[in-house]
Amino acid sequence: MAEDIQAARKMVQDFIKGPDRYLKVPYDGPELNPREYWHKIVLQSRLRFLWQSLIIFVCTILPSGEFKNRLLRSIGMKIGKDAFIAPLVFMDIEFPSLLTIGDGAVVGTMTKILTHEVTIRSVRLGKTEIGKQALVGAGSVIRCGVTIGEGSVVAMNSFVNRDVPPYHVVGGSPLQDVKKLDKLL
């Protein structure tokens, strides 16, 4: 089991540094306990995990601004210049380095941004990206590994489960194309 954990940790570290957008880490065993198995992989440093959790919690209640963006950058998120992240945006605490928010992007309140998903037999990691000057409406959920293109608009309360091309308006659950934009709204 220890060799499996080390191999999975290496696979995750290589994925984070590499060009791939998705990684599926399968697991099985006599007891199929995803929580226990997954935490052995993720919690290489309990202090680092606690620090990330604290930063994200504090940033969840802070208003948008450069101070908030700097705090998020300090735990590995790639936050662009003048990005607006509203209060009560819930970001994945386990893999902050897999999240990119571009210059001038706007993320509305109560949005959830994921970088991993857990099932009974696997964990899926994904590099999630919100493009430059994209707008994500309040209450939306962004699935791990999704890219929202530059200048795109996601309507409020949408479930973004696929990539959104640049300069498109999308919305709903399931996500539907609304229209293509000629310029920024």
Contacts 24+ apart (CB under 8 A), 36-42: 37/5, 38/118, 38/123, 40/5, 41/5, 41/8, 41/9, 41/12, 41/123, 42/94
Q: What is the mean pLDDT of residues 66-74?
A: 97
Q: For 23-64, what is each residue's pLDDT tens digit?
A: 988 876 656 666 676 777 776 678 888 999 999 999 999 999
- 94 HSE (CA, 13 A, CB side): 21
Does pLDDT of 6 surpass 90? Answer: no
Which residue range is the domain that position 138 belongs to? 2-167
Specify the higher pLDDT residue, 41 or 113. Answer: 113
Q: Is the pLDDT of residue 101 over 90?
A: yes
Task: Kindly tell me if the per-residue pLDDT of 90 is higher than 70.
Answer: yes
Q: Which residues contact 141 (CB under 8 A, 6 or more apart)?
A: 111, 112, 114, 158, 159, 160
CB 113, CB 92: distance < 8 Å: yes
Amino acid 34: pLDDT: 65
Residue 182 lies in a domain: no
Q: Does some domain include residue 39?
A: yes
| Cβ atoms within 10 Å, residue 137 | 19
**pLDDT greater at residue 35 or residue 106:** 106
In-domain check, residue 183: no
180 within domain boundaries? no
| Total of domains in the chain | 1
Average pLDDT over residues 101-117: 97
Judged against a pLDDT cut of 80, whether residue 1 lies above it is answered with no
Residue 27 lies in a domain: yes
Q: How far apart, in whole angstroms, are the C-alpha atoms of residue 123 and residue 26?
A: 6
Q: What pLDDT score does 43 carry?
A: 66
Give me the pLDDT at residue 25, please: 83
The reported pLDDT for the residue numbered 29 is: 61
Q: What is the CATH number of the domain that holds 9?
A: 2.160.10.10
User: Is 178 inside any structural domain?
Assistant: no
Q: How confident is the model at residue 118 (pLDDT cuts 50, 70, 90)?
A: confident
Comparing 47-51, 100-104, 109-113, 148-152, the range with the smallest average pLDDT is 47-51
- Residue 175 covered by a domain: no
